[in-house]
Amino acid sequence: MGKLIFSISLLLLLLDCCHGGKVGVCYGRSADDLPTPSKVVQLIKQHNIKYVRIYDYNSQVLKAFANTTIELIIGVPNSDLKPFTQSQSNADTWLKNSVLPFYPTTKITHITVGAESTDDPHTTNASSLVVPAMQNVLTALKKVGLSRRIKVSTTLSLGVLSRSFPPSAGAFNSSYAYFLRPMLEFLAENQSPFMVDLYPYYAYRDSPSNVSLDYVLFESSSEVIDPNTGLLYKNMFDAQVDALYYALTALNFRTIKIMVTETGWPTKGSPKEKGAASPDNAETYNANIIRHAVTNQGTPSKPGEAVDVYIFSLFNENRKTGLDSERNWGLFYPDQTSVYQLDFTGKNGGFRSNSSGGNSRGRSESWCIASSKASEIELRGALDWACGPGNVDCTAIQPSQPCFQPDTLVSHASFVFNSYFQQNGGTDVACSFGGVGVKVNKDPSYDKCIYITAGGNNTKARNASALSSSASTSHGNESLVWILSLWLVISLLFSLQTMNLLAL
């Protein structure tokens, strides 16, 4: 029996541990100039986006996603909550008329019941309606046998915390206790995710003298230490996620997983947002959040535990009120052209190269090398990352290869940094490496060691090599996992058969 339990546990671990977080987008429709839902779905498929969140249950949108592999989060708006709390039959009828006609041809995976209800000034006592409505929606799903396939949750803002720094001191606001505890009990009991909308952008916008831009953009070369745990944080996103995990742990909810249902960065803002909202900052933040998620980096308190993220938003939405930034979070303009380029697979560090080899911002010919002032620890860490998760082909710096000599860390790092820089569009971000990369305009090639550039055939060959190496490694890992999984299944069946024989 012990071997049987071990086999099952190992099988589940193998199946669960070998993939990164999911990256999706939020498809908001507060605009009067957007493409039709069918055209939007084509755009989403064109850009390899596999996960989408919408904020309602619009029938035309649900129909447009039919017969695709795109997984969809749908929502019950705050304004619709009250009928769901008044009777179970209202929830049953809603499910029958608004969801079941489209399922499973439309892959609905989650239903959010209410959105940021604690911050809603328009719906009276919205948060008090959420949990009763969630219970009735879940009961309706149970009646049709879908409660395990479609998860029920609600979305919250970071405002539910009374304290978020240091992360280990994360605590929920006691004024929301009437709502939070029953909600958390619901999530834990039904294995539903804690859905939260996180925006490091606002922390920087509101306090630029106290918050580093590099820290919120995942570009910091320094770290913020949590004095209680000694854990080091290189970006605010991780600190915010961990603050939530610690707040959950403080209430003894240790098994609930966090899903970030909104995060992003605006490309344009009002005068007070001038230093924060920009296309470059938006591209940098979103490219880095994609890379962070798909490479399964986790957070300092939960390393390797993937966090799913949804980027806000698919389009600029011209009907939104408030500061200019509210209307400029989009990845695409209404005419379906990109505001800036992103790669949702994460293969190119989150950036999507255009046909000429660069990204949307363009560049003159330049190279990226290692700073001579960088410490050995910083260079080694950056080099290891580039040759690993960064998908750079580092064959050329191995013994007997063209760029092995001089056999110094700075020389090896320079060649690798440049390779990563060129294959990821030649952007400033791609030459950061935590502050130890330096852009230069003089070709650093020497002897037979040729530093590639983003236009030549050599670049394309190296890029193909790097991507095929990455792909083969990925497929190799997947194959190994499934071979082991198959072996465990066979062992499990054999164990069950043996147990049956012994019982006889």
* Active-site entry in 116, 219, 273, 283: 116
- What are the pLDDT digits (tens) for 74-83? 999 999 999 9
Work out the number of other CB atoms within 10 angstroms of the CB of residue 146: 17
- The pLDDT, as a whole number, for residue 295 is 84
- The pLDDT, as a whole number, for residue 422 is 85
Share of the chain above pLDDT 90, in %: 59
Q: Which residue has the higher pLDDT, 306 or 475?
A: 306
- The pLDDT, as a whole number, for residue 12 is 46
Q: What is the pTM of this model?
A: 0.71
Residue 272 pLDDT class (50, 70, 90 cuts): confident
- What are the pLDDT digits (tens) for 102-135? 999 999 999 999 999 988 877 778 889 999 999 9
Domain limits of the chain?
19-332, 367-440
The rounded distance, in Å, linking the Cα atoms of 455 and 353 is 12
* Active-site entry in 71, 219, 262, 273: 262
Q: Which residues contact 343 (CB under 8 A, 6 or more apart)?
A: 48, 287, 290, 349, 350, 351, 352, 353
Residue 454 pLDDT class (50, 70, 90 cuts): low
Average pLDDT score, the chain? 84
Question: Is domain 19-332 annotated with CATH 3.20.20.80?
Answer: yes
Helix orientation angle between 409-423 and 457-503, rounded to the nearest 10 degrees: 90
Q: CA of 449: how far to CAs of 237, 403, 454, in Å?
A: 39, 5, 16
Residue 480: phi, psi to the nearest 5? -60, -45
Instruction: Verify whether residue 189 is a known catalytic residue.
Output: no
Instruction: Verify whether residue 116 is a known catalytic residue.
Output: yes
Reference 50, options 343, 479, 274; nearest CA is: 343
For strands 171-172 and 232-233, give the pairing: unpaired
The rounded distance, in Å, linking the Cα atoms of 402 and 400 is 7
Place of tokens 């969801």: 99
